[in-house]
Structure 1
Amino acid sequence: MSIKEVVIDTNFFMVPFQFNVDIITELEKVLPSYKLTTPSFVINELKGLKRNNKGKIRLNANLALKLANSSKVEIKDISLLENETVDDALLRVSEVLATNDIELKKRAKAKGITIVYLRQKNYITVDGKI
């Protein structure tokens, strides 16, 4: 049996610094048998946020990169296809997606992808089958 994976998107890596929630610990609690992963294109997006912003966004992107590069998260070498957006690629590679992006959540749900997100700014919840 293959290990199930939770794919973490850019916006979810920023959650700990916006709402002071330890997403890694919370994900491990809610989905103990899942491996936490993120595609390399998400890392690139975080690097872009760090490079192109100032102040809090830059700081949060830097902290998010540290989190993404921790031993708890596997970075998968996945590239964007030609003309593909990060959101489209996330929908392509995810069975379980950790995001707080409202539009992405709607699109994922429509595709039958299980969504993991922060609810009421303090706990992680799962929408869909696991």
Structure 2
Amino acid sequence: MKVIIDTNALMIPVQFNLDIFSELHRLGFNHFIVPLAVLNELDRLVTTARGQDRIAAKVGRSLAQRCELVSKEGHADDIIVSLAQVTGAAVLTNDIGLKKRLIEMGIRVISLRQRNRLELLS
């Protein structure tokens, strides 16, 4: 199954010491998609963030290379919603606003649960 990975999700491995790819495999997902807009957000964080957030953004940038990169114009959240609708993919995110938007649209959402595992919400 396919999953689209958001910016904050690519930062989970550093922030919460959790292997998102192992967790996604455990949930049955094996095709990982990252929009280039997410990479752009990570690049901005690498230059503007400090401390652990900066390290997490660098690691997230590296992890994204293990995924299918999709080029599409627009704001990252809008691209993620659009891609999820077109591909039928679930979305891995911790962004509360994006989660709410996706759930209202009937799109499956995966999120960090109890800081130590991923869970499919819908």
**TM-score of the pair, normalised by structure 2:** 0.89
1:91 aligned to 2:81?
yes
Match of residue 27 from structure 1: 24
C-alpha distance in 2, partners of 1:121/1:102?
Answer: 15
Task: Deviation per CA, 1:69-128: give whole Å up to 9, x if none.
Answer: 13xx11112221xxxx32122111113100011111111000111001110111111122
Structure 1 gaps, min length 5: none
The alignment status of 1:36 with 2:32, answered yes or no, reads yes
Q: Shift of residue 59 of structure 1?
A: 1.2
Corresponding residue for 2:101? 107
Match of 1:6 among 3, 6, 18: 3
**Equivalent residue of 1:121, what SS?**
coil
Query: In the alignment, residue 54 of structure 1 is paired with which amino acid?
Result: R
Contact kept in structure 1, 2:32 and 2:68, CA below 8 Å: yes
CA distance in structure 1 between the partners assigned to 2:91 and 2:112 by the alignment: 12
Partner of 2:14: 17
Deviant stretches of 4+, over 6 Å: none
Which residue identity is paired with 1:87? D
Write the deviation string for residues 10-55 of structure 1: whole angstroms up to 9, x where unpaired. 01001111110000111011124x4111111101110111012222
Q: Percent identity?
A: 36
**Alignment coverage as a number of residue pairs:** 118
TM-score w.r.t. length of structure 1: 0.84
- Paired with 2:55 and 2:102, the residues of 1 have a C-alpha distance of 29
- Distance, in Å, in 2 between the alignment partners of 1:100 and 1:68 is 17
Task: Say which one has the larger Rg.
Answer: 1
Q: Which has the higher helix share?
A: 2
Give 1:67's match in structure 2, choosing from 63, 67, 77: 63
